[in-house]
Amino acid sequence: MPDQVVALGAVTVLGVLEQAYFSLQVIYARRKYSVSPPATAGPPEFDRIFRAQANCSEYFPIFITVLWTSGVFFSQGLSAVCGLLYLYGRLSYFRGYSESAQGRLAPLYFCAQVLWVLIGFSSVGVLLTFCRVYLDVDLVQELCSALDLL
């Protein structure tokens, strides 16, 4: 089993390392701007870094979930590529947001688009598997036959 999902595992470990990097940035920002826990608000520079990390953390479980459903039910290779694009987008988002609220927008839209692609892959993969397992219908084959008839 591990052999068939190792590319997903690799992207997952990279994603965890990225989250660790974001968490460290918040710790540095807490020191730099003297915002001690449990406080979560400070100067705008701190707030942006804090919110950037919070937003990345919030989306991390969604990302891991769709990465794996897409990889297991649709295609490991395509999912892993999308996963790498998403992680790159999140890094740009974090850096952009750290500089200005405006700077977060472009990479945020990019990340959202990659997530939608992974959601689309997952939906198609789950639907095809569902029809094959429970309805005994192979939609891919049906489609190919239909195209042959044309």
Catalytic: 30? Answer: no
Give the span between the Cα atoms of 116 and 119, in whole angstroms: 5
Nearer to a second copy, 40 or 150 (CB): 40
Is 125 in contact with 70 (CB distance < 8 Å)? yes
Catalytic: 31? Answer: yes
State which amino acid sits at residue 113.
Q
- Kindly state the smallest distance separating residue 95's Cβ from a second copy, in Å: 15
Binding site for a second copy (CB under 8 A): 1-4, 6-7, 9-10, 12-13, 15-17, 19-20, 36-40, 44, 47-48, 50-51, 54, 57-58, 60-62, 64-66, 69, 72-73, 97, 101, 104, 115, 119, 122-123, 125-126, 129-130, 132-134
Give the span between the Cα atoms of 120 and 107, in whole angstroms: 20
Is 66 in contact with 17 (CB distance < 8 Å)? no
- Kindly state the smallest distance separating residue 138's Cβ from a second copy, in Å: 12
3-class DSSP state for residue 40?
Answer: coil
Catalytic residues: 31, 104
